[in-house]
Chains A and B, each alone.
Chain A
Amino acid sequence: MISNPDKFLRSARNGVLAVCAGLFLLGGCAAIPADKPGQEAYYEANDPIEPFNRAIFSLNRGLDAVIFKPIATLYRDALPQTMRDGIRHFLNNLRTPVILANNLLQGDVDAAQVTVVRFTTNTIIGFGGFGDPAGDLGAKFRDEDFGQTLAVWGVGEGPYIMLPVFGPSNPRDTVGMVVDTLIDPINMWADNTDRNAVPVVRTLVRGLDERSRYLKTLDDLEKSSLDFYVTIRSLYRQLRNDGIRNGGSDDPIPTPSISLDEDEQLLGPRAELLK
């Protein structure tokens, strides 16, 4: 655990500023608008390296159009739903150690118990994890990752970052992704036994499964969106916050309602910079 979150945050912010300074020299930072509503929009977006992120987003969409989307479409059309569900359940089951570690790091003992019960049930009577009898009985799969754990510990998300291939993220979730990969015993085992292909294949299949489930959703979103980049940015943040709140569980803190007053501030972590 981080002994001094304030210090960590400060150094993280300095790091971001340094990166931003570097990007600025390359022309990657958005200029801060001069007008008041413009400034609010700027801080609400929390996306200081937007031009750079947009460039990466275009790259990702290009890759998606020529590689990921066609393969995901093929995957969806070639395999029956039951088989794709089985693959997803198997991958979810493999994630158990990482989820369990994060349940415990978040101090969520109830969730940790559910994770253990799910693993034993699905491994034993779910044909090695291809079935999800635990989910059918009400113990639903709920993913956890180190990015969420950091959030529970009070670490802010930091500015929006578009990663090549991996897509939308932020410093907190990027660190989380790296930590999850490092602590995963399956990756350690693969590393120790020189089975380097295992983590790669696993990541690829996981990505394929995810993409194949959002084919229609993403197409619809793109059609109705005025600025797809901004839609994805907004969705990413809101979905992450929902995950951190454990929105899908049976006892969610009801999603925070919005007042819908025009003055309502949705400024996020950088609001203090406005004053």
Chain B
Amino acid sequence: MTRFTRTIFVCSALLCFALANQASSATEAGAFVKQLGDRAIQALTVADITEAERENRFRKLLRDGFDVRKIGRFVLGKYVRSMNPELVDEYNTLFEDLIVATYAARFAEYSGQTFEIKRVATQGNERDSIVMSEIRAADGGAPIRVDWQVRDANNETKIVDVRVEGVSMSITQREEFTAVIQKNGGNVDSLLDALRKKTSNLKSRQ
């Protein structure tokens, strides 16, 4: 073999390997989301548990399935730099509490929706897979399109963003948080206050 053909051979072997790798990570990502969804429906939609128990179960699934810390940092944007570590810790706790308070109770309203993975896309050179799924109501009606951005990092598979009908939860949250900080002259404490109030409001409504 000439040097040239050898190089070509090695390159194409590497390419095949890379593609195979990508395909398997896409399948894994799909299976990961499917499994998480099934677990959520199984654990959270039962009627005869207390709201506190539902929240505990939700929190566990959230930590297993999502990189909450990463999302939280993204949502804060640049402001995270101006915060000391204790404040960041407090923010992380509050951010997780907000997610739990917002979404856990919604599973109590479950009425037989089905959850189906449509396909998984891995974009060119990007490390993340996008798992496209549909949630279908039991009574027919238009299905809701939900895309999950799944990342493999540090030997862990975690969801880093959820997009409902193309609307990214992370981006929406970031715009909101930024606006609260902005309205209060760039003061991050104002956001923590708002989060505390919101979380306790959401809890008292249940």
Which residues of A are at the interface with B, using a C-beta cutoff of 8 A? 33, 35-38, 40-42, 44-45, 81, 85, 220, 223-227, 230-231, 233-235, 238-239, 241-243, 245, 247-248, 254-255, 257-258, 260-264, 266
Contacts and interface: CB of A to CB of B under 8 A. Distances in A.
A223 B81 CA distance: 29
A130 to B, nearest CB: 16
Contacts of B166: 238-239, 241-243, 245, 247, 255
Interface residues of chain B: helix, strand, loop or mixed (majority): helix
A262 B175 contact: no
Contacts of B170: 258, 260
A6 to B, nearest CB: 29
Contacts of A258: 74, 149, 160-161, 168, 170-171
B205 A254 contact: no
Interface stretch (B13-21, B55-63, B120-128): B120-128
A112 to B, nearest CB: 22
13 contacts: A37-B78, A41-B178, A224-B198, A226-B194, A234-B172, A234-B176, A238-B167, A238-B168, A247-B165, A257-B128, A260-B70, A262-B76, A262-B77
Given A239-B166, A254-B130, A261 B74 contact: yes
A85 B176 CA distance: 34
Contact of A33 (B126, B161, B174, B186): B186
Contacts of B130: 254-255, 257
Interface of B: 70-71, 73-74, 76-82, 102, 106, 121, 123, 126, 128, 130, 132, 139, 141, 145, 147, 149, 160-161, 163, 165-168, 170-172, 174-183, 186, 194-195, 198, 202, 205
Contacts of B80: 262
Main secondary structure of the interface of A (DSSP, over half): helix
Contacts of A41: 77, 178-179, 181-182
Given A239-B166, A258-B168, A226 B186 contact: no
Pick the 8 closest A-B CB pairs, nearest first. Answer: A242-B166, A254-B121, A230-B179, A260-B74, A234-B175, A224-B102, A37-B78, A247-B166
Given A226-B177, A230-B175, A234-B171, 18 more contacts: A35-B186, A38-B182, A81-B141, A223-B205, A230-B176, A238-B172, A243-B166, A247-B145, A248-B165, A254-B130, A255-B130, A255-B147, A255-B166, A255-B168, A257-B161, A258-B74, A260-B160, A262-B73
B176 A231 contact: yes
A251 B147 CA distance: 14
Nearest to B71: A260
Contacts of B139: 81
A225 B78 contact: no
Given A239-B166, A242-B167, A254-B123, A45 B175 contact: yes
A44 B177 CA distance: 13
Nearest to A135: B142
Contacts of B198: 224, 226
Contacts of B81: 262
Given A234-B175, A254-B130, A227 B73 contact: no
A260 B161 contact: yes
A37 B77 contact: yes
A93 to B, nearest CB: 16
A218 B80 CA distance: 30
Given A238-B172, A260-B160, A227 B186 contact: no
B160 A227 contact: no
A7 to B, nearest CB: 31
Contacts of A230: 175-176, 179
A242 B146 CA distance: 12
B81 to A, nearest CB: 7
B180 A226 contact: yes
Contact of A227 (B77, B167, B176): B176
Nearest to B98: A224
A219 to B, nearest CB: 12
Contact of A257 (B126, B141, B176, B178): B126
A12 B85 CA distance: 46
Nearest to A136: B140
B133 to A, nearest CB: 13
A242 to B, nearest CB: 3
Contacts of A260: 70-71, 73-74, 160-161, 170
A257 B182 CA distance: 26
Contacts of A254: 121, 123, 130, 132, 147
